[in-house]
Amino acid sequence: MGLAPDPRLILREEELDAALELMFLAEAALWSTADTALEAEPLGLGRTHYRTLFLLKRRPGLGVRELARLLALSKQAASRALGDLEKQGLVSKAAGEDARRRPAALTPDGAALEARVSERLRGQVARAYRAGGLEAVPGARRILSALAGPRLSLARAGQSAGEA
């Protein structure tokens, strides 16, 4: 990120509210696509399960604590999602005494499910990027990175440190 804020950028309440509205509507559109894809699958999984699969693809070895922090879930909810996915054969956990600290990874079936759902979402994001134009993509990524804030840093630190 490294760019200093532009002091010429003055955003009024109406402009910020319009941005929030667009973010809420974009989120609803993305989740509608994900929900439709998940409903087509026979396993009865929900959004938290998909988000878990996606993050495990991007950051193999996450444990319950890191997953809970990244997704703003309670540790119990993160543990439940990982447990559900493990029971379905979509995730495997490394052996260890403390289940909360055991790193998790996608199984081939988990990777295939994640790919089927993500394919639809990637298409939607690609269409949005194309609509914004090539010059808009870096700015959009900077905005989303700034909004992700500490979660983005946590994800990168956990990945580089091999944290489980």
The one-digit pLDDT tens for each residue of the chain (164 residues) are: 456 767 667 778 888 899 999 999 999 999 999 999 999 999 999 999 999 999 999 999 999 999 999 999 999 999 999 999 999 999 999 887 666 678 999 999 999 999 999 999 999 999 999 999 999 999 999 999 989 888 777 655 544 444 33
Backbone angles phi, psi at 59, to 5 degrees: -140, 70
Q: What is the pLDDT of residue 100?
A: 60
Query: What are the residue ranges spanned by the domains of the chain?
Result: 33-161
Residue entry with tokens 């944290």: 163
Can you give the pLDDT at residue 10? 74
Q: What is the value of pTM for the model shown? A: 0.83
Residues 6+ apart with CB under 8 A from 162: 61
88 within 8 A of 9, measured Cβ to Cβ: no
CATH 3.10.450.50 is held by the domain 33-161: no
